[in-house]
Structure formats: structure tokens, C-alpha cells
Amino acid sequence: MSIDDVVPISQGSRFGGPNSVGLVQTQFLTFAQPPGELELECGQKLGPITLAYETCGTLSPQRDNAVLILHALSGDAHVAGYHTPGDRKPGWWDLFIGPGKAIDTTKYFVVCANIIGGCKGSTGPSSVNPATGRPFGLGFPMVTISDMVRTQKVLMDRLDIPRWLSMTGGSMGGFQVLEWVVRYPDRVASAIPIATAARLSAQGIAFNEVGRQAIMADPNWRGGGYYEGDAPRAGLAIARMIGHITYLSDEQMHAKFGRRLRDRAGFGYDFKTEFEVESYLKYQGDSFVRRFDANSYLYITKSMDYFDLAAGRGSLVEVFEGVRAEFLVLSISSDWLFPTYQSKEIVKALKANGIPTTFLELQSPYGHDSFFLPNEQMSAMIAGFLENVQRRVREAAAAEGPEP
């Protein structure tokens, strides 16, 4: 489900409205210059690396109010606000970020970066390989969720943020949240993973593979070397259509489309688009290919397949032994891509370690993508959780007193 298609923008969130962060600017951080390249989990090295990121709100004098937003598969750094006054739509999570919203930018300093491997300003397969002067294509090394988090840690240090007050993300963004709290336990005060899991299921891997095969079967893919010609638009559109089906629920599909026909009084008995649901999926596929790179889709979905928080670390309970963040874990009742039992596995392992954890299954008929849609319960839970965490963090700092 695309939030751009189904969610009206309230007057308060429109550019210049009281609940909008207003204009934001994409910024870029470049690091890992040779010979100091980043060694990736796959064993290869990558550098230089550029991260595209955006911020909104103001970092407090104590530098204790920073919140990291981690995006899902097709997201980017543009999480809230507008790039220009004439933009038709704001950032992808503008519903929840801004003055008076769940993540209130009058209280918090919000940071969001495009992941490496992406195609929205950060280094990825469509970037120019400095060794060849041409786009990487499949010459780009395989990146993992862990690699993404390690580059975000560099950004954190460059912004001189000692500890995140909180971080949140849904789906693949939730993978990053979990990796962050395990890899850098002293740098995260709280975490809000949404509609996610500690590992991708066999079903999730299967859907990703079908999407990748659709891209690679497109004759325009040419082994990933399509940048000087026509892109594999048909394959990428099919991949998006497949993925999009998993983001919706059966109830929502029935309510939104049913078996309604489009522009026909009856069956045409041919292979033209007849059903409303067919037209909708084709629209989603066609709009996606205008803003996303096919090779990035391959790399990002593969990084999701590889993600398993406990791999090489013991049991899930053991994984969380050193975690110091408190948690708000949110699942969605109608989500069959990341069903609630997967969130409960995380909650069980956290509580086994005595980690303060609040869990809520959000009641929504809209499936996995519900976290992109207006939800008063979700907004209230996030707002209250952040307020309580900030209060505790500042009380603890006051009790410790100033550094000698």
C-alpha cells in the first residue's frame, strides 16, 4: 500500500501548516575513503561510502533527544516535511513526525538515512564505481543489515550524538532497530520495532526470490548492466506487484476491490485488465519503476533474506543479554507477512532478560503496511513511550551530576 495513494494530508501537515516540519534538505556524508574502506560482512571492502540523510527538529544542548528513523525496503531519507514548497506530498512517515505528532519535533531531533545498497542518494549498485568510472551494477558487493547499521553508526558519531534517545522502524527498518540495540547496546536508550521479526521467514524469503527472478528474467536486465540502456521495467514492476500483495490483508483486498470490474459491464474473455485489483497492482508496479532501481531491489531483498539476529550469537534470549534499551514492540493484527507471533518471540526473549518491554498488537484490517496509515492508538503509544523515556534519561543524568 502506498501512503501517497490512500492517505489525505491534513491541513495542519501541509507545507506551512502548524504540524509540518516545513522544508528539509537532504545532506550527504562521505567516509571510508581508500585505503580506509569499510570491510563488509561478506568479506569485501567498500569505499568511499556516501550516506544521504535528513534531519528535522533541534538537537538539545545536552545532545540527548535524538531519534533515529529506519526505513523499510523502498524507503529513503525523506521521512518528513517537504523539499520544496511546491511538493505534492511530504516525506514517507510525515503522519507521525512533526510538531504535536507522535514523534514531536519540538521535543526531538529526528534523523533518517538512506541505507547503503539503496538508490536514493546513498552508495548502491547504481552509484559510480570509482575503479571503473561506470555504475557498479552487480559489481557492487553484497551488503547486510549489519553493514547498514555500521554505516549509520558512523553518521551518529559525525553528528556527535552520544546516544540515541530512541529509534524506530517497521519491517526491514525493524531489523535494523534490533541489530542496533544488540551491536551497540550503550548507544541506544530505547527502541520501537514495528511489524518485524528477529529473522525473515521462509515465506518472506520465497516472495523475495520470486521478485528477484522476475527482474532477472527481464531481457533488459542484462546481468545488471542496464544503466546505459533501457531498465528492466517490466521485471521490476512485477516484483513490486508481488511484494505489494504481501503488504495488504485479505480483508482489505476484499473491502477495497472485491471482484469489481474496471470499465466493463461484463467479462471480456481476454487477457486485458478487467478487475479493479489488477489495475491497482499494475499502477503500483508502474509508479515504482519510476523511482526505484532494479539492482537495489535485488540487493536489499537479499539483505533481508540473510538477516537472522541470533545467527552466530546463540539463542534469541542470549542475543539480548547485554541489551540496555527499553522496548515498545508493536505488531499488527492483520499482518501475515510479519505475523504477531514473530513479535511475541522478540518480547519473550527481552522479558527473559528482564528488559523493560511494552507490547501491543495494533488492531487494523489493513495488513502489514498499516504502520504507514493513520492510527491514533499507535501515535499515542509512541508519544507516551518517548516522553517517559526522555523523562527517565534526564532524571538519571541529573542524578549523576555534571562531569568532573
Q: Which residues does the annotation mark as catalytic?
A: 171, 335, 368
Q: Nearest CA to 138 among 222, 217, 208?
A: 222
Backbone angles phi, psi at 385, to 5 degrees: -60, -45
**Strands 134-135 and 128-129, bridge-based pairing:** antiparallel
Q: Would you say the C-alpha torsion 365, 235, 76, 4 has a positive or negative sign? A: negative
For every residue of 228-294, DSSP letters joined together read TS---HHHHHHHHHHHHHHHS-HHHHHHHTTT-BSS-SS--SSSS--BHHHHHHHHHHHHHHTT--H
- The residue assigned the cell 514531536 is 104
110: helix, strand or coil: strand
Residue 359 β-bridge partners: 329
CA angle 238, 240, 244 (to 5 degrees): 120
Residues 352-366 as b/e (b if ≥16 CB within 10 A, e otherwise) read eeebebebeebebeb
Q: What count of other Cβ atoms lies within 10 Å of the Cβ of residue 262? A: 14
